[in-house]
Structure 1
Amino acid sequence: MILKCIIVLCIKTYYYKLKINVMKKTTLLIFLFIAGLLSAQTTSIPDPNFEQALINLGLDSGTVDGTVPTANINNLTSLNVSDMGISNLTGIGDFVALTNLDCSLNSLSTLNLSANTAIEILNLSENDLNTLDLSANTAITDLDLSDNNFSTLNLSANTAITTLNAEENNINTLDLSTNTAIEFLNLSDNELSTLDLSANTAIKALDLSYNDFSTLNLSTNTAIEELSIHNNLLSALNLSTNTAIIGLSLSENSLTSLDLSANTAIIDLNVNNNQLTSLNISGNTALTTLLAEENLLTSLDLSTNTAITDLYVNNNQLTALDLSTNTAITTLNAQQNQLTSLNISGNSVLTDLSVYDNQLTTLDLSTNTAIINLSVYENQLTALNLSANTAITTLNVDDNQLTSLDLSTNTAITELKVTHNLLTSLNISGNTTLTTLNLHHNQLTTLDLSTNTAITDLDVSTNQLTALDLSTNTAITSLSADKNLLTSLNISGNTVLTELNLEDNQFSTLDLSTNTAIEYLHLSENQLTALDLSTNTAIINLSVYENQLTALNLSANTALKSLDVNSNQLTTLDLSTNTAITDLDVSTNQLTTLDLSTNTAITDLDVSTNQLTALNLSANTAITDLDVSTNQLTTLDLSTNTAITDLYVNNNQLDALDLSNNTAIEYLYLSDNQLDAFDLSANTALIELYINDNELTTLDLRNGANQSLTAMDATNNPDLTCIFVDSKTYADTNFTNVDATANFMETDQECSLNYTQIPDANFEQALINLGHDSGPIDGKVYTADINVLTSLDVSNTSISDLTGIEDFVALTSLNCSNNSLTTLDLNTNTVLTSLTANDNQLTTLDIKKW
């Protein structure tokens, strides 16, 4: 029995152990299975650019397949996928641990962040978003939504925000009443006209520039240190409670006054471009930078502002400026005022001084030894002593009355401008660092540049130079020596020249064979009889008008875009290789033919005053401005030139011209041709029309836009009787440059009704009184209204001229007695049987055909 019990116990024990082992193994397998499932879970990433960004960050492996292991992302706290071309951020919901997300510079138009509740820093700038739900993202403290398409934002749930940037959107309304923690707020470049910030008392930096504010209440925002409201519509602003302001920008508004007496902490102040007539900054002693440009200031007291280093008061009406206490100034811009004098003897640390466009006659700079940049042009200076200003590198004294200028101590100068003065000589031998030298419009007869080897830009135009030695100036890239007396110039050593202007000199020849870099070449108004440009293949712009050229080979100059050879003696010109030309002027030459079939890029073409009898422009469809005046053209086909806006065809021999395809024409000159019937009804863009001195019989102006036609001349067309217009009433008032024989009409039927001229106003008034003319007096009557009359009585009406009676061909009875007639011709009135003409002053009476 005992043995049996022992055996049973052992069997039970074994059974339970076996059962437990099986259960453990099963549990382990289940655990391993679940773990496998978890480890195999993926997140869908449909945007390949988003997935590629994750691959680049090591969060996904292999090629783009539309998924990423969830385990790789769900514990991530920071993600930057900016500037990756992402348009779909689907999958971001599984990044549940994110606290910092940067998706800027992408193409997102929608975004769901409802699952990303841990986000604290969110950058969505420069996308295409116009709506966004952030109600679940209550942890956000820093939010950047700049440069999107939002018109409004709902941030009522985001009470933790301290920094909000929503600049460059289309926001026109915004409620920030719950966002009381905001310290930094940027809403610039939107469409806001109102904004309630009364609850946002923590704001330290506020930018509302480029909006539509005309008023703004900041009375509760006493913590503001940086305030920018420039480019708005403010005419007034109360800042009396904003005593913490350090930086203030109010430029580009309409402020007429500004009280800054409470804002004593201001360091930087910008009130440019307002309408201020005065500015009291006596209490703003901490000011270091003041910008008050383009206002209406007539005076400015800076006596207490001793900390100022940068002062900009240009474009005002200042007649005086006292800077005696402002010894810290380093930059002074006071140009474009009405200053007649300026004392800056105490401003010894000045480095930048600009006082151009004033009325200064003298300027003492003897103590201003630190000046580096000096601009005093457009004043009335007759002398300027710069001997103490040895630090100057940039000097502009243009448009004064200087007869001499000593620069011997100013050896640091790199840029010198002394144009429009009265200099007869200038010694710059010691100024070896010069790179830019501009001396145009003086009276220089000689100029020594032998030591100035660093010069790259040289302008000596409009002087009296007869010679110019540039042999040592091999660095010059731009040279202007036009309007001098030069007969020759050796520039063989100036091989880096790209711009050369020698217009209006006395050159008969010029060697440019070594100047292969030239792109802009201007040699007009010289005496050149030949010009070799075979090596100058880089030329883009060539002007050689008013020379004596009889031929010009441009076959090598394939880069040419602009060519002006007007007023030469050219009989032929081959432009077949110059396919890049857009602007071409070959006027006033002796051309009889011109082939432009390869020059399809031309937009501006002037071939006037030549001897052309034909011109094929079918390939030149880009032309907008065309002048073919004063040639011998008998026909001209412009059917393909539909871009033309300005057309000059005057002084030719055209008897017809079809402009029905040229609907863009605005300015049309057709005078002095042989045109007869002419139709402009399709030319709806017409602004000016000159069609005088032709052989017109009809002119159709019914384009539906006659009120846009501001100038019209159709005079000297003796056979022109019918001018069709949109409105006869409008034409009678506005189109006065027509012959007396011309009549304005609205319908073709009216044109079939010819007119009879009645030059005597009393005769016409008599016809009006008799109901044979509708009036008012205009010197004519419808022939159809009179040529059927059989009886006419115009006695006692003070008529002195019965011209027009010849068209009364049906008259059998005429009474013209008691008038002032001296002659009477009734030759055409062949059916007349009764004539009463007593009590006149007749000396001749012609009735011989009776």
Structure 2
Amino acid sequence: MNEAVVDTDGDRWGDIDADTNNDGEIQVSEAQAVVGLIISNKNIASLEGLEYFVNLEVLLCRKNSIHTMDVTNLQYLTELWCEENQLTELDVTQNTYLQWLLCDSNQLTSIDVSENTYLEHFSIQLNQITEIDVTQNPFLYQFTTAHNPISSLDITQNLELRHLFCGNNDLTSLDVTQNHQLITLGFYGNQISSIDVTNCPQLRDLSFSSNVMTSIDITNNPLLDNLDSSNNPLHTLNVTQNPELRYLRCGGNQLSDLDLTHNPELVNLVCYTNNLTSLNLTQNHQLEDVNASNNQLTELDFSNNPNLYFFVASNNNISSLNITQNTILNGAIAENNNLTQIDTSNNPVLQFLYCNNNSINQLDITQNTELEYLRCGFNNLNSLDTSQNPLLKVIYFQDNHITSYDASQHTALIRIDGSNNALINLNIKNGFNTEISKMYAFGNPDLYCIQVDDEIYANNQICDQPNFTGWCKDETASYSEDCQLTTKDFATTDFKLFPNPAQNVLTIQSQEQIDSVRIFTLEGRLLLQT
């Protein structure tokens, strides 16, 4: 206690130490004078002597290694914060004025709060508690039981309850019909099949992901701001009476229809892995993020969503995609669809473009100067111009028909995949080859020379296809620091080549000593090396 652990102004921070006479010990009189004690995160294993702080009102001892705690003599205690310790039991039956009790992340198997009738904030998450009785706590305002093996929960007597978090319990039912003031309700990760929230008109946050809910009526919750129904067997979801809804997560359900035309405030939409065939977003002008992957969508029109920042729409049947009005778009993920084209000319700050496995014939990304990640493999591209994309870090264009690619200006490059194309020329000499962890160029039978920074370094790289790393090329291809045939470094009088044309024998006469000779085709293919 010879540290600043005594709270003198009620701000939950230590201001002075308890040893007011500086004799190195805590007298009983000094302990009795303490009202607030802040000893969190002090590596404390024992609270021996705590019983002498009889006038203590606030005790914060979070994040220690405390195994036992005796607070039975602290009759004026109103707040006890003892999260993240190693408590196996806690007796608060004598602390009848207690209003805050936070004992998360301990090893408690039970706790009795029947005498704490003034309790308002109570949290027991991340313990081993199997049952809890709060029927004698009429003023309970916030209650958290998450991550405990609790199989039943009676909150019908807690009429003042505003926030309930009971996720990852073992609940099969939950009655909130008497909790008319409820604002937040989270019961994710249980086995609840139905719940009635029609008597909770103040509800703003409802999360019940990973349950077995087959239906939910939220038509009487007009203030709902956040709804998470992910990973349930829901066939329908009516959000037409929730005009304040901003965050909707309904992925992993069985929805075939989703009407969002009455949700003008919607900002975030996650509806992946459903059976949606269409998605009307014309009334969602505030929309910023969308994940609609793994559905049956045939088109997506974002022309009425000027704030769109990121969207994922992979694994659909999309043949039409409109992002021409999304000038602040940062990420566009539309892999595994039926696109024949994608217009990104009006997306100047685009950083992510994933359009793998479509039927795109031409890709113009010259206006996307901020682009860093490009995946356009498995399309019908004959060429790819990335000269206006100096920030590119990842370039995947495998399984196309591209004949030539130059990455020499991409100094931030860390991964490149040009495998299974028709490459004749490939230049990755960017001055930073040591930063490239993946370079795939196999499946290009006419590629004989790959231009690199350092031929020796490149030849020492290992191909590790099972782990999708390393440098991998065909056996017929070689690395070189210069794949261009040139005579610029020689004076014409220094050497002679004859006969021209040559058939079986080519004679080279030079005034300088010749150490080695390599003969390439005009396309850069190595024909002969001595």
User: TM-score by structure 1 length?
Assistant: 0.51
The alignment-based identity, stated in percent, is: 30
Cα shift at 1:434: 2.8
* Correspondent of 1:652 among 373, 379, 383: 379
Distance 2:387 2:436 in 1: 17
Corresponding residue of 1:263: 20
Q: Which residue of 2 aligns with 1:444?
A: 192
Note if contact 1:571-1:591 (Cα within 8 Å) is conserved in structure 2: yes
2: CA distance, partners of 1:534 / 1:600: 23
CA distance in 1, matches of 2:100, 2:208: 26
One-letter identity of the residue aligned with 1:290 = L
Matched residue SS, 1:466: coil
Instruction: Measure how far apart 1:251 and its partner are.
Output: 8.3
Q: 1:449 to 1:597 in 2, by over 3 A?
A: closer
Residue among 311, 319, 323 paired with 2:71: 323
Question: Greater RCO between the two (CA within 8 Å, min separation 6)?
Answer: 2
Q: Whole-Å Cα distance in 2 between the matches of residues 633 and 368 of structure 1?
A: 67
Please identify, of 462-471 and 374-383, the stretch whose mean Cα deviation from structure 2 is larger. Answer: 462-471
Flag the 1:625–1:442 CA change in 2: closer, same or farther, 3 A: same
SS at match of 2:51: coil
Matching residue within 26, 29, 41 for 1:294: 41
SS of the counterpart of 1:744?
Answer: strand
Confirm or deny: 8 A CA contact 2:222 2:243 kept in the other structure.
no
Deviations 1:33-75 (Å, cap 9, x if unpaired)? xxxxxxxxxxxxxxxxxxxxxxxxxxxxxxxxxxxxxxxxxxx
1:383–1:519: structure 2 CA closer, same or farther, 3 Å change rule? closer
> Aligned-pair distance for 1:687?
1.9
User: For the aligned residues, what is the CA RMSD?
Assistant: 3.7
Conserved? CA contact 1:319–1:338, under 8 Å: yes
- 1:515 Cα deviation from its structure 2 partner: 4.3
Letter in 1 for 2:404: A
2: CA distance between counterparts of 1:749 and 1:468?
68
Cα deviation, 1:597-641, whole Å, max 9, x if unaligned, reads 333332211222223333332222221110111112232221111
1:691 aligns to 2:426 (yes or no): no
Query: What does residue 823 of structure 1 align with?
Result: none
Name 2:137's counterpart in structure 1: 389
Q: 1:738 aligns with which of 445, 448, 472?
A: 472
Is the 1:282–1:303 contact (alpha carbons within 8 Å) kept by the matching residues of 2?
no
Q: Distance in 1 between matches of 2:111 and 2:10?
A: 33
> Aligned runs of 1:400-799 on 2, under 5 Å?
400-449=148-197, 451-470=199-218, 473=221, 476-485=224-233, 505-507=234-236, 512-734=239-461, 736=463, 737-739=471-473, 740-748=475-483, 784=517
Residues 188 and 211 in structure 2, CA contact (< 8 A), matched pair in contact too: yes
Higher helix share: 1
Tell me the secondary structure at the aligned position of residue 52 of structure 2: coil
Judge which range, 285-294 or 728-737, deviates more: 728-737
C-alpha displacement at 1:747, in angstroms? 2.9
Instruction: Name the CA shift for 1:318/1:732 in 2 (closer, same or farther; >3 Å).
Output: farther
Contact 2:268 2:290 in 1 (8 A): yes
Structure 2: runs of 5+ lacking an equivalent: 464-470, 488-514, 521-526
Q: Within 2, Cα distance between the matches of 1:306 and 1:575? A: 64
Q: Which amino acid aligns with 1:568?
A: N
Q: 1:611 to 1:484 in 2, by over 3 A?
A: closer
Match of 2:106 in 1: 358
Tell me the number of residue pairs that the alignment of Structure 1 and Structure 2 aligns.
482
In structure 2, C-alpha distance between the alignment counterparts of 1:483 and 1:250, rounded to whole Å: 40
What residue number does 2:119 align with? 371
Partners of 1:579 and 1:250 in 2: how far apart? 44
SS in 2 for 1:458: strand
How far apart, in 1, do the equivalents of 2:26 and 2:446 lie?
78
1:187-235 CA distance string (max 9 Å, x none): xxxxxxxxxxxxxxxxxxxxxxxxxxxxxxxxxxxxxxxx98x9xxxxx
* Offset, 1:734: 4.0
Relative to 1, partners in 2 of residues 1:808 and 1:419: Cα closer, same or farther, differing over 3 Å? closer
Query: 1:275-298: CA deviations, max 9, x gaps?
Result: xxxx97566423222212123222
In structure 2, do the counterparts of structure 1 residues 294 and 280 end up closer, same or farther at CA, with 3 Å as the change threshold? farther
Tell me which amino acid in the other structure corresponds to 2:235. Q
Contact persistence 2:232–2:252 (CA under 8 A) = no
Within a 5 Å distance, the mapping from 1:209-224 to structure 2 comes to none
Structure 1 SS opposite 2:416 = strand
Deviation at 1:352, TM superposition (A): 0.9
| Equivalent residue in structure 2 for 1:337, among 49, 63, 85 | 85
What SS class does the counterpart of residue 363 from structure 1 fall into? coil
Task: Deviation per CA, 1:689-733: give whole Å up to 9, x if none.
Answer: 222222333322221222322333333334333222222343334
Question: 1:263 corresponds to which letter in structure 2?
Answer: T
Q: Does the 8 Å CA contact 1:712/1:735 hold for their aligned counterparts?
A: no
Q: Is the 8 A contact 1:282 1:305 kept in 2?
A: no
Distance 2:18 2:279 in 1: 74
Distance 1:433 1:553 in 2: 34
In structure 1, what is the Cα distance between the partners aligned to 2:281 and 2:156?
Answer: 47
For structure 1, list consecutive stretches of 5 or more residues without a partner in the other structure.
1-226, 231-244, 253-257, 267-278, 486-504, 753-781, 788-805, 810-850
Say whether the 8 Å CA contact 1:282–1:304 is kept in structure 2.
no
After superposition, the C-alpha distances for 1:718-760 in whole angstroms (9 at most, x for unaligned) are 43332222223433344643233333322346999xxxxxxxx
* 1:353 Cα deviation from its structure 2 partner: 0.8
Q: CA, structure 1 residues 735+700, in 2 after alignment: closer, same or farther (shift >3 Å)?
A: farther
Q: Which moved more, 1:418-427 or 1:447-456?
A: 447-456
Q: Are the structure 2 counterparts of residues 443 and 720 from structure 1 closer, same or farther at C-alpha, using a change threshold of 3 Å? A: same
Q: Once the 2 structures are TM-superposed, how far is the Cα of residue 396 of structure 1 from its aligned partner?
A: 1.0
State the secondary structure of the residue aligned to 1:353: strand
Supply the distance in 2 between the matched residues of 1:722 and 1:378 (Cα, whole angstroms): 60
* Residue deviations 1:58-96 (CA, integer Å, cap 9, x gap): xxxxxxxxxxxxxxxxxxxxxxxxxxxxxxxxxxxxxxx
Q: Partners of 1:751 and 1:339 in 2: how far apart?
A: 78
Bigger Rg, which one: 1
Matched letter for residue 745 of structure 1: S
The 5 A counterparts of 1:6-45 are none
Describe the SS at the equivalent of 2:457.
helix
SS in 1 for 2:151: coil
- Taking the aligned partners of 2:319 and 2:217, their CA distance within structure 1 comes to 42
TM-score, with normalisation over the residues of structure 2? 0.79
Taking the aligned partners of 1:312 and 1:684, their CA distance within structure 2 comes to: 52
Q: Hey, what's the Cα distance between the residues in 2 that align with 1:581 and 1:551?
A: 18
